[in-house]
Amino acid sequence: MVNIGTYSYLLGHGVSTNITGEITEGQVPLTILSIDVDNDHITQSWLDSKYEEFARKDDVWCDIFARNIFAQESPGVLRLIANSDESKILRSKSFEYQGFLPEGPYILSGSTIHRIYKLYPDPLGAFVCGVIPTAPGSNRYQRIPMDYIPVPSRLYSPPSNLQPLLGKRIAVKDIIDLEGVKTTVCSKAYEALRDVSINTAPSIQKLIDEGAVIIGKVKTTPFSSGMGPRDWVDYQAPFNPRGCGYLDTSCSSAGSAAALAGYEWLDFTIGSDSLGSMVSPAADNGLFGIRPTHGRISCEGLVPVSSYLDTPGIFSRDISDFSASTKLWLGASDDSDPKTSSVMPTKLTILSERYENLAPEMKKVMEDFIQDFEKATQLHRVTTTMDELWKLHAPETLSEKTFAETFQTTLAHIQLYGHYNNTTPFREEYRERFGTEPYAEPLLRYKWELGANLTQDQLTTALKEKELFSNFLKEHLFNDGGVMLLPCALPDIPYRDGYFGSVEESGAPWQGFNVPITVFSSLGGGPAVSIPVGQRLYDSKITRAKEYQPVGLMLLGAPGTDEYLIDLVKHVLVASNRPLVVKTGKVAF
């Protein structure tokens, strides 16, 4: 780590030089420009405008790097063209080296020019670790041995039409493999068993191939198990930057959402969803997020909950970036994929029972967006309940049961059976190696106890119910281009220090019993797009002051309509003159 001015930097990979002048010891900040030094336009005024451009585009470059300006006349040759009076360290006229260095800030240490990483603290506790590539262009990473997150200069990777994600900084949920780095699932017992990953998950490699820069791994609830912030033990739960700073970050993709909501220097984060861990954290942290159609993005290289439910997802603060990155990730093409057409939906369904218990202030924010949605699409909502739809369209063999009774245990049985059986090899390996039981948080043990009592026959029954559920939605909610808007967060203020009774009382709501709000995407198999639709004032018990809580809705459609839903969200936001980008920090808007 090198301290220059008021900032800390990590020296990255270096290029050895053949110095043709005189240099003293120490770390020398410098800037490389790719220009023709004999060009008449290189004046102090031109340099000043270049510095302004760099400062505007890049948070790593600062004016201290303007003390020494080198022109890269051709690959392998640098010539000193500006040396401020304040800097007496560097008196070399030119360097020779092998290769090409992109424009941007560097540090000369001895005779080696280093790329640099600005080191950012993680006050929200969202990260497990920061990472850097083991070599330039390498697909293998290494964890940095410090509690900072290393961020490369954006100037090293200017925007490119060929690689739309070039230079975009991304953090990855720590259930996803990254070559050279341990996957910990935020469990010390699991971490003790594992070596570093030998491959990067294909879903992440696809982003890397498009130019994304992986800067770290972010926290997850242990084994992606549903639990509140108080239930974490091996790792502390991340802090939600919104409002008073003590709101729940929500569920297993907590680190992904908290980091993106809090840090301007981060562009996207990757999470995953089994029972709602994309849409709920997005809503509670005031972000855009998507649970894609199940199966559209590979789950290879992810520590699983259930193969019938799991999918990676992406968080974003900017609807345009969200649209571009998600379509790229899904492999969509605006020119050839009919699901990305601009045709408006034919029906908007609102399930009234899902709005009944919300705080009045949240309802008001949601209602305002629903009205904007109606105006932008020229639709009038269809308000109904799932019980009404079920009475009208239920199979004859199930007509005596309500909708809730029919699917009361479906989601829970699928995820509990999967979670228990997918973690059984871990428990067995740990006992064999260490001779003891691995530590597991009380809510995790509770989950495993429930899963251990489920049979293959119960799973088979639940999967048949899942198919029935999915077909019912496609035929009676999402038929002919229909969409649905639902709340996607808790009905009031969810503080991180809340008590919810015994392990069973606090753990049961996280398991998927009783048809939770996220069931429509998790069991239905279609996409759910979380939309930050506003914020509402609340009286914080923490600060004793009025604060703002984000309010979110999710837009759902039939399987395969992922791109269409995102385009629809953007259309509504633009048509209603709503913000297309959310802020970082205490308030989203």
DSSP string, 506-542: HHGGGTTTT--TTHHHHTT-S-EEEEEEEEEEEE-TT
The dihedral built from the CA positions of residue 65, 66, 69 and 75, taken in this order, carries a sign that is: positive
CA distance 434 to 554: 45
- The whole-number average pLDDT for the span 152-164 is 89
Q: Quick one: pLDDT at residue 376?
A: 97
* Confidence (pLDDT) at 340: 41
State both tokens at 219.
């926290």
Whether 337 has a pLDDT exceeding 50, the answer reads no
- pLDDT band at residue 510 under the 50/70/90 scheme: low
Instruction: Tell me which long-range contacts 476-480 makes (C-beta under 8 A, separation of at least 24).
Output: 476/389, 476/392, 476/393, 477/349, 477/389, 478/526, 478/556, 478/557, 478/558, 478/561, 479/558, 480/346, 480/347
Minimum mean pLDDT range among 3-17, 244-258, 356-370, 411-425: 3-17
Spatial CB neighbours of 571, under 8 Å, sequence gap ≥ 6: 342, 376, 377
pLDDT at residue 232 is higher than 80? yes
Task: State the pLDDT at residue 36.
Answer: 66
Percent of the chain predicted with pLDDT > 90: 74
Kindly give, in sequence order, each residue whose CB lies less than 8 Å from that of residue 501, ignoring residues fewer than 6 positions away. Answer: none
Q: Does residue 336 register a pLDDT over 60?
A: no
Lowest mean pLDDT among 34-48, 117-131, 153-167: 34-48
Residue 343's pLDDT is: 67
Mean per-residue pLDDT, 475-483: 93
Q: Would you say 241 and 284 are in contact if contact means Cβ atoms under 8 Å apart?
A: no
Query: What's the mean pLDDT when you consider all of the chain?
Result: 91
pTM equals: 0.93
What mean pLDDT is predicted for residues 433-438?
Answer: 97
Do the beta carbons of residue 185 and residue 194 sit within 8 Å?
Answer: no
Position 201 confidence tier, pLDDT thresholds 50, 70, 90: very high
Report H helices in 31-114: 44-57
**Gap between the Cα atoms of 424 and 447, Å rounded:** 13
User: Any alpha helices (H) in 439-577, and if so which ranges?
Assistant: 442-452, 456-476, 503-507, 519-522, 562-575
Decide if pLDDT at 92 tops 60: no
Instruction: Find, among 66, 270, 82, the residue nearest to 165 by Cα.
Output: 270
- In terms of average pLDDT, the best of 85-94, 327-336, 565-574 is 565-574
Does 333 score more than 60 pLDDT? Answer: no
pLDDT at 505: 66
Contact (Cβ atoms closer than 8 angstroms) between residue 474 and residue 482: no
Answer yes or no: is pLDDT of 289 > 90. yes
What tokens does 420 get? Answer: 């228990």
Structure tokens at 334: 């605006």
Q: What is the mean pLDDT of residues 105-125?
A: 93
Q: In the predicted model, is pLDDT for residue 84 greater than 90?
A: no
CA distances from 337 to 333, 453, 560 (A): 6, 44, 10
The pLDDT confidence band at residue 88, using thresholds 50, 70 and 90, is very low
Q: List the domains of the chain with CATH numbers.
A: 2-118 (no CATH), 122-589 (3.90.1300.10)
Reported confidence tier of residue 87, pLDDT bands at 50, 70, 90: very low
- Per-residue pLDDT at 85 exceeds 70: no
Q: Residue 341: what pLDDT? A: 46
Q: Is 326 exposed, middle or buried (0-12, 13-18, 19+ CB in 10 A)?
A: buried
What is the per-residue pLDDT for 395? 92
- Closest among 467, 469, 462 to 386, alpha carbons compared: 469
pLDDT band at 338 (very low <50, low <70, confident <90, very high): very low
CA angle (381, 384, 390) in 5-degree steps? 135
